[in-house]
């Protein structure tokens, strides 16, 4: 599997897992989703918001790549989050719709990537305004790893709330 195929696999895994997580979350009440569970982002809803906000920040950075990815153009209509702990979506249904849109955007963008795009360095500022210049492919690996990390927290919180997300292994998508 080459790097482009790996990115496409991770984009599909992201969508597959988010559908499972949101289906599981949808079985809980709004109060159960918003309950403080002593997690990094407080609640299940807080954790899912963090994922959407983090993805938005990274994708907006990726939109600055010299390749000018047209698939990321719709992000220009979205304000860049300033706090990754904010509840941008207090309603799981609105968050779920946004998540589905974001996941399709990620898949469309992943399909537009070309091997030479991965070899660039990307200059960006982190959330504290510190300038960075890092290999683009490494940033993509981080992007998908970040999703997996916090989705793992969300699945733990869902399990603790009595909801089984089911199989979460990437192996399920590997031929």
CATH no. for residue 109?
1.20.120.450
Distances (CA, A) of 89 to 8, 13, 34, 61: 27, 23, 11, 22
Burial 143-170 (b: 16+ CB within 10 A, else e): bbeebeebbebbbebbeebebebeebee
Least confident of 30-34, 80-84, 98-102: 80-84
Q: Render pLDDT for 3-19 as a digit per residue (tens, 0 to 9).
A: 999 999 999 999 999 99
Q: Return the closest-CA partner of residue 123 out of 79, 65, 74.
A: 65
Mean pLDDT over 143-150 rounds to: 97
Non-local (6+) Cβ contacts of 80 within 8 A are: 56, 57, 60
The domain of 85 spans: 3-173
Q: How far apart are CA 149 and CA 135, in angstroms?
A: 21
Most distant CA pair in the chain, distance: 47
Non-local (6+) Cβ contacts of 100 within 8 A are: 18, 19, 22
Q: Return the closest-CA partner of residue 54 out of 154, 172, 135, 131.
A: 154
Label residue 175 by pLDDT band (50, 70, 90): confident
Q: Render pLDDT for 108-144 as a digit per residue (tens, 0 to 9).
A: 999 999 999 999 999 999 999 999 999 999 999 999 9
pLDDT score, position 16: 98
Question: Which DSSP category does 134 fall into?
Answer: E
Q: Render pLDDT for 18-48 as a digit per residue (tens, 0 to 9).
A: 999 999 999 999 999 999 999 999 999 999 9
Reduce the DSSP state of residue 41 to 3 states and report it.
coil
Above 90 in pLDDT, residue 72? yes
Mean pLDDT over 66-76 rounds to: 96
Above 90 in pLDDT, residue 92? yes
Q: Return the closest-CA partner of residue 153 out of 69, 71, 48.
A: 48
Please state the domain count of the chain. Answer: 1
Query: Structure pTM?
Result: 0.96
Reduce the DSSP state of residue 11 to 3 states and report it.
helix
pLDDT score, position 59: 98
């Amino acid at each position: 599997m080459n790097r482009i195929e790996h990115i496409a696999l991770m984009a599909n895994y992201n969508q597959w897992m988010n559908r499972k997580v949101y289906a599981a979350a949808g079985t809980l009440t709004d109060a159960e989703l918003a309950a403080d569970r002593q997690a990094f982002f407080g609640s299940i809803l807080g954790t899912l918001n963090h994922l959407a906000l983090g993805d938005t920040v990274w994708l907006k950075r990726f939109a600055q790549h010299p390749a000018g990815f047209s698939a990321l153009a719709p992000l220009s209509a979205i304000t860049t989050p300033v706090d990754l702990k904010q509840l941008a979506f207090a309603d799981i249904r609105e968050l779920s719709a946004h998540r589905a849109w974001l996941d399709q955007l990620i898949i469309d963008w992943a399909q537009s990537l070309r091997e030479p795009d991965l070899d660039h360095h990307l200059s960006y500022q982190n959330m504290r305004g510190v300038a960075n210049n890092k290999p683009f492919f490494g940033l993509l690996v981080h992007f998908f790893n970040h999703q997996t990390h916090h989705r793992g927290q969300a699945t733990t919180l869902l399990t603790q709330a009595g909801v089984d997300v089911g199989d979460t292994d990437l192996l399920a998508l590997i031929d």
